[in-house]
Structure 1
Amino acid sequence: MIKRFVSGKLRIKLILSLLFSFAVSVGIFLLLQFTAEDIAEDYFDQSSFIENQQNQAIAEFKKYVSDNRLALSDHEQLTKWAGKMKYVTVYLFKDDHLVYSSDHEEAAAGSGNYMINPILKGIPLVPVAFADTNVQLYMECFFEYKYINIIGFVTLTLSFICFICIMLFFINRKTSYIGVLENEIKILEGGYLDYPITVSGDDELSSLAQSINEMRKSFMERLNSEDRARLANSELVTAMSHDLRTPLTALVGYLDIIAYQKYGTEDNLNKYIHNSREKAYQIKTLSDQLFEYFTVFNTDEGDLALDTFDGMPLIDQLIDEQLLGLQNHRIQFEYLPCGTPFQIDINLTAMRRVFDNLFSNITKYAGTSKPVIIKCCIANQKLRLDIQNHIGPNPETIDSTGIGMKTCEKIIRQHKGSLAVTRTEDIYSACIHLPVKA
């Protein structure tokens, strides 16, 4: 129960602030109390203040008796006056016998005999004339306690004010920070997401501020990512529209020539039919790539099923599947396989798509005079696959949108790897990094 009550940094800070404020206020109270009491006692000892207060009280008592023509038996009136006069005790003596005491009025009134008080013998008494007799008065005064009590009340009040001020200081630090967070959140609500949230301290409030800041950054990143994706898709649609329109226009033209029999000779007819087939296949290739692109980009990383494979034979198999295509295009190649055994988690269908795109680019752009270099190695728990070829003098330009490489990059990122493609005037190279297990 206690552990749950004191859990949390903010709660602990508030408890420590309370204890610190209490300790400081108690110290101030004791310091003020002792200091004020010493000053008061020195003043009382060195002056006739208390004596003057006592003489004034005696004079007021004698005046009260005289003005009201009190008799010695009027104990009720005497007690009433003594009750109004705090810090005063009245003793009345007749012939050295105690006849009245404001402290023992009931005992004195109820006793048939006068009480002898030997302690007061030798103390100077003040004569007082009652209506029926004369008595002697001894008045015991405690006026110093009156001022000591006042001092105690004042020091207690000051120490309590000090306690409240210290607590308000600590609380104000937190409430002002809450006010800062409130204002900054309102700024974020206004749409100014670049405004950073102030993180101060190491308690729950600072943790909350840090979480809001991270949420702000994440939201900004998501918005930026959506903007980039929207722009990329817009550019892609524009490029694909251009690339589709070009062969489609040619295809419609060839078909019109055939439909209206404007081909002239049988050879021209066969040529137009052949060209129409080529443009139709070109349109099919572009549409397949577009479908593939949206299929991959609408698949989240967690939705891609990965299987564990023995890496060396798998990579060799994927490379061998592509080498036949290079041979059919009379493209030379050099393959340097990986010599280190490893395990790799991949989606085989998606990875085949990557290799198909990469080697399709090679067959389009590579020249036949120099070999394609394919190297595979393991470094820093990652598989590195380098593919480099020299670009031929008349490379094909069908895949001008780069949609195939965008698809490959997305697939590699889904495997927590990276794909870097560089192209110069005469060199085309691709480098793949994928995480592996020993």
Structure 2
Amino acid sequence: MYFLLLRLLTGAAAAAFLFFWGLNNIGTYIVDRFYDSNYVTRRELAYVEKLQRYIDEKELDSRNAGALNSWVKKQKMISVQIYKDDILIFDSEYPEQVLWDEDIALNEYVWENYYTVTFSDGSARVSIWGTYAYQLYNYVLLAAVAVSFLLFLALVLLGIRTKMNYILLLNDEIKILESGSLDYKITVKGKDELAALAEGLDCMRESFRNLIDSEAKIMNENRKIITEMSHDLRTPVTSIMLYTEILKKGKYKSEEQLTEYLEKIDRKACRMKQLTDHLFEYSLVTGETEIVLEEAETFEVLFYDLISESCSYLQQKGFRTEVTVEWIGRKTIVCTDYIIRMMDNIVSNIIKYADMEVPVVVCSVCEGNMAGFAFENAVRKDGDKAESTCVGIQSIKSMMVKMNGSCRVRQGQEQFRIELLFPLL
């Protein structure tokens, strides 16, 4: 802003100086054309008439030098010489001297004009010399200075007005943002501090809008999950209430049927516990505001033991695994607690929904500046579909976002694939 103001003042001063130079030259040229002998004669005649009126009013004689000198001083721009009987009796250049006793004779010059005035003691000849051109040149100079200064002031005010208009525009746009219209883009003009401020305001607007969109998305996801979870909880609760009512009224046929009903109640209760555990884990992950990421390590150090243990556990449950992981020498930063919870979630889903006849594939994934792993399995066709929510997947996605990674899920009728990608350092 200081540089722009200095540039504005310098430019306005330069423009005003050039305008002054041109205007002064034009005025001087006009004065030179206008100032001639006729103009001088007119001015001299005007002063002679004024002098005659003054003499008549004061009834002066030709030797009243004091009164004559007082009149000349009031005119300021002229010198007066008075001759009587061709003898110099008054000279405004030497007002204190008594000239009529010196008998200074009249010397007429071609460039001087002599006029007759009448005193109380007779007529006299008057020669008037004035700096008329100097006065005109002063008028031209003053006019040029005044107009040039006005031009300088106008240019400065015009430059400042541009910035003021921009400030007023930003003020209006801020009011628009205050009203809640975060889609309105802040105008960024120039490369000064105001432009930087406008750019910062626009970035803040974008951040607010993204934050609001993110919060709205989270709210919608939470609302959807709660709705689906409520529906999924209603099914086992209804079954438990039904079987409990049967047992209370003793409407079972045998001890075997009683045992069967009790086992069904136990399975439904376990399902409810699983659903509530998933919901609690999801709320725990999304409710955390900050996590502590650990020191950077290679992928092999971070994931080798976890993947090996997970594959061994799946094999103990009767699944076959195919591991085609290529360990890269790059490093990443993770939260080990999140990694363990994600692996438990993935293994739990595989056990509940995967087809044991088809191998579970674990492979490497690398895209751009991110790398990680993918788990792929076939979907069991006769599996229990009671838990239709994706709370576990949502929890994994939330944890990956907090570790600056991403989670991608591809789910079809027969195949399920989840990819975990971590940022490379």
TM-score, normalised relative to structure 1: 0.88
2:69 to 57, 65, 79: 79
2:18 is the alignment partner of 1:27 = yes
Which SS does the other structure have where 1:108 is aligned?
coil
Aligned counterparts of 2:74 and 2:327: Cα–Cα separation in 1: 110
Correspondence for 2:236: 247
Aligned counterparts of 1:308 and 1:38: Cα–Cα separation in 2: 84
2:263 is the alignment partner of 1:274 = yes
Deviation at 1:130, TM superposition (A): 3.4
Aligned counterparts of 1:324 and 1:416: Cα–Cα separation in 2: 29
2:372 to 384, 387, 400: 384
Aligned counterparts of 1:144 and 1:61: Cα–Cα separation in 2: 21
Q: Among all aligned residue pairs of Structure 1 and Structure 2, give the percentage whose two residues are the same amino acid.
A: 27
Aligned counterparts of 1:112 and 1:100: Cα–Cα separation in 2: 8
Correspondence for 1:430: 418
Q: Which consecutive unaligned segments of at least 5 residues does structure 2 have?
A: none
Give the partner amino acid of 1:347: C
Aligned counterparts of 1:359 and 1:50: Cα–Cα separation in 2: 115
Correspondence for 2:2: 11
Q: Is the 8 A contact 1:304 1:414 kept in 2?
A: no
Correspondence for 2:214: 225
Deviation at 1:263, TM superposition (A): 2.5
Correspondence for 1:316: 304
Which SS does the other structure have where 2:387 is aligned?
coil
Q: Is the 8 A contact 2:63 2:89 kept in 1?
A: no
**Bigger mean CA offset, 286-295 vs 75-84:** 75-84
Alpha carbon RMSD of aligned pairs, Å? 2.6
Q: Is the 8 A contact 1:99 1:108 kept in 2?
A: no
Aligned counterparts of 2:320 and 2:75: Cα–Cα separation in 1: 123
Aligned counterparts of 1:342 and 1:163: Cα–Cα separation in 2: 65
2:247 is the alignment partner of 1:258 = yes
Aligned counterparts of 2:78 and 2:383: Cα–Cα separation in 1: 121
Aligned counterparts of 1:261 and 1:157: Cα–Cα separation in 2: 114
Number of positions where the alignment pairs a residue of Structure 1 with one of Structure 2: 422
Deviation at 1:14, TM superposition (A): 2.0
Aligned counterparts of 1:308 and 1:41: Cα–Cα separation in 2: 88
Aligned counterparts of 2:10 and 2:301: Cα–Cα separation in 1: 71
Q: Is the 8 A contact 2:186 2:199 kept in 1?
A: yes
Q: Is the 8 A contact 1:82 1:102 kept in 2?
A: yes
2:203 to 204, 214, 220: 214
Q: Is the 8 A contact 2:293 2:403 kept in 1?
A: no
2:28 to 33, 37, 43: 37
The Cα offsets for residues 182-235 of structure 1, whole Å up to 9 and x where unpaired, read as 332232333332222222222222222222222222222222222222211111
Aligned counterparts of 2:210 and 2:22: Cα–Cα separation in 1: 60
Superposed counterparts of 1:55-134, under 5 Å: 55-93=45-83, 99-105=89-95, 107-108=96-97, 114=102, 121-123=107-109, 125-126=114-115, 128-132=117-121
Q: Is the 8 A contact 2:291 2:402 kept in 1?
A: no
The Cα offsets for residues 346-394 of structure 1, whole Å up to 9 and x where unpaired, read as 2112111111111222222221222111113666553321211222221
2:189 to 172, 183, 200: 200
Aligned counterparts of 2:330 and 2:178: Cα–Cα separation in 1: 51
Assess, with a 3 A threshold, how the Cα gap between structure 1 residues 321 and 152 changes in structure 2: closer, same or farther. same
Correspondence for 2:157: 168
Which SS does the other structure have where 1:346 is aligned?
coil
Which SS does the other structure have where 1:198 is aligned?
coil
Q: Is the 8 A contact 1:339 1:377 kept in 2?
A: no
Q: Is the 8 A contact 2:72 2:78 kept in 1?
A: yes
The Cα offsets for residues 229-256 of structure 1, whole Å up to 9 and x where unpaired, read as 2211111111111111111221222233
Q: Is the 8 A contact 1:72 1:132 kept in 2?
A: yes
Superposed counterparts of 1:283-294, under 5 Å: 283-294=272-283
Correspondence for 1:5: none
Q: Which consecutive unaligned segments of at least 5 residues does structure 1 have?
A: 1-9
Deviation at 1:176, TM superposition (A): 2.0
Q: Is the 8 A contact 1:307 1:347 kept in 2?
A: no
Correspondence for 1:402: 390
Which SS does the other structure have where 2:35 is aligned?
helix
The Cα offsets for residues 3-25 of structure 1, whole Å up to 9 and x where unpaired, read as xxxxxxx2321221111111111
Which SS does the other structure have where 1:48 is aligned?
helix
Which SS does the other structure have where 1:17 is aligned?
helix
